[in-house]
Amino acid sequence: MQNARSDPSKPARFWLALILPMWVVFAIPVFAADKPLIAVASSLNGVIGPISQGFALHTGQQVRVSFGASGSLTRQIVQGAPFELFLSADKSYVDILIDNGLAATSSEIYATGRLVLFVPDNSPLPGNPALAELPSALEDGRLQRLAIANPEHAPYGRAARDALQFLGLWQTIQGKLLFGENVAQAAQFTTSGADAGIVSLSIAQDLASSGQGTYILLPESWHQPLHHYMVLLSPAGKVARAFYDYLKQSGAQQIFRKFGFSTPTPSQ
Amino acid sequence: MDWLAFSLSLQLAAWTTIVLIPIAVVVARVIAWRRFAAKGFIEALVALPLVLPPTVLGYYMLTVFSKNSLLGGAYQSLFNQSLAFSFEGLLLASLVINIPFAIQPMQRAFEAMPGELREAAWCSGLSRWQTFLRIEFPLAWTGILTAAVLTFAHTLGEFGVVLMVGGNIPGETKTIAIAIYDRVQAFDDRQAATMSALLLMFSFVAIGVIYFVNDRFKQRFH
């Protein structure tokens, strides 16, 4: 009798032993919810780590970062993703959010990106890339594949198209362009098979410092400025607002400049 | 509607099916009928693309296609063009991704065939080739058709690996799935909806054909 009663409880205890730890594991993200979720354009991939560390040092608070193409992030926010702050790589996507009534503030520039021509190490193009070389390399067939971000939706892609149009190469280069989903993928294409790429200074600095190639800055007058806009979203709490303010302070702005961006507050 | 991308997808799917199915027939027969030490290993290898994330496959393909790799370098010197970001490279990737879809349905079909049948055919004086054409093929053709249609439809729907290794070149590596993604990213919902609906119908018809034919085949034999 005693045995019969205790037997059925055994599997129950087994399941409890299994489920309890799982519940704890699944609950962790819930407890992490006081760290606000921030949507960040993938062009900020290298710089946002040091900045959020600076923020943590400064305030003792932390944020959780979610990278993506500005377009996809905007779509996710419109669709109800629980982001509290959006760091976009341009203005148009931020405007979409404001138009949809999802913003808590107006938009603000926090950094401005620069465009470079990056030439990977094993490219048939000269190691020290001269911009004047581009048309002739295109003509004599040395340049077979040029990677840029997709101008249909990536801000750095639009700027790259501007630059190629400025040079009068946009028509002749059709069919030789590789389109990365965002500027980070364009850079990745550049180092894994393309002859050159038009990418962000921020990524190019990183690639060059790890010995993967060389780059040259494109004049800013060749393309629409790559102003990065940010906006606080309706669910923004105290920590997200503090992070928003921190991004405008000199500490964060200095980190932006170190990583190849120019900033609204000029360098001292 | 991006017809260029749609036609490219159809071409990629057709080439993948044409190249892969004959190879898959040979491999599926071997796995189904022969006993050998490495069989479990081969079967696991065949099934691997089903469970691997496209990112893993895409990463390896990018590495293998690069000019600095053995394969990519050999291709570059042979054809004087890069394997990465080309239709040929995409086809190669597509062949690898579709291995399980091509082999597994056929393997099941060949496994279901009694061995005595072939032995009887050989005793009746049929050559191996005749045995395949007159005995094996009529019994296994639904399996082969299933494999072909699955491979074709799955290639049309492949997204992750193409996004990673293709480079989104119109007319060369920009498939319909990538075109849809681009339109969604660009907030062009009308185009995205049109192309999605087309792909949905196309895939539904393809899969429908498999079930219809398989049903008919079963009814005939039971």
CA distance B101 to chain A (A): 28
Average pLDDT score over chain A: 87
Q: Residue A268: what pLDDT?
A: 46
Instruction: Read off the pLDDT band of B204 (50, 70, 90).
Output: very high
The answer to whether A155 faces chain B, any CB pair under 8 Å, is no
Across the range A60-64, mean pLDDT stands at: 92
**Centroid of chain to Cα B136:** 22
d(CA A207, CA A202): 9
Contact of A197 with chain B, judged by CB distance below 8 Å, is answered with no
Average pLDDT in the A161-171 region? Answer: 94
- pLDDT score for A24: 67
Instruction: State mean pLDDT over A171-195.
Output: 91
The shortest CB-CB distance from B185 to any of A71, A177, A178 is to A71
State the ipTM, two decimals.
0.76
Residue B92 has pLDDT above 50, yes or no: yes
- Which residues in chain A have their CB less than 8 angstroms from residue B66's CB? 192-193
Rounded CA-CA distance A192/B165 in Å is 10
pLDDT band for A8, please (50, 70, 90 cuts): low
CA angle centred on A46, ends A40 and A47, rounded to 5°: 70
Q: What is the pLDDT of residue B94?
A: 96
Which A residues in the span 104-133 are in contact with B, Cβ-Cβ below 8 Å? 122
Is the distance from CB of B33 to CB of B110 less than 8 angstroms? yes
Average pLDDT over residues A173-180: 91
Which member of B65, B85, B163 has the closest CB to residue A178? B85
Q: What is the mean pLDDT of residues B3-13?
A: 95
Residue B68 near chain A (CB below 8 Å):
yes
- For A210, how many CA atoms within 13 A lie in the half-sphere containing its CB? 6
- Structure tokens, B146: 């299933």
Of A72, A109, A105, A104, which Cα lies nearest the Cα of A90? A109
pTM value? 0.81
**pLDDT value at A1 more than 50:** no
8 A C-beta contact, residue A147 and residue A194? yes
3-state secondary structure of A140: coil
Residue from the list B171, B182, B184 with its beta carbon closest to the beta carbon of A150: B182
pLDDT score recorded for residue B69: 85
pLDDT at A85 exceeding the cut of 70: yes
Cβ neighbours of A152 in B, within 8 Å: 182, 185-186
- pLDDT tens-digit readout, B18-63: 999 999 999 999 999 988 899 999 999 999 999 999 999 999 998 8
**How close, in Å, is residue B33 to chain A by CA atoms?**
42
pLDDT digits (tens, 9 = 90+) for A184-214: 999 999 998 889 999 999 999 999 999 999 9
Which pLDDT value is given to residue A33? 54
- Is A144 at the interface with chain B, CB within 8 A? yes
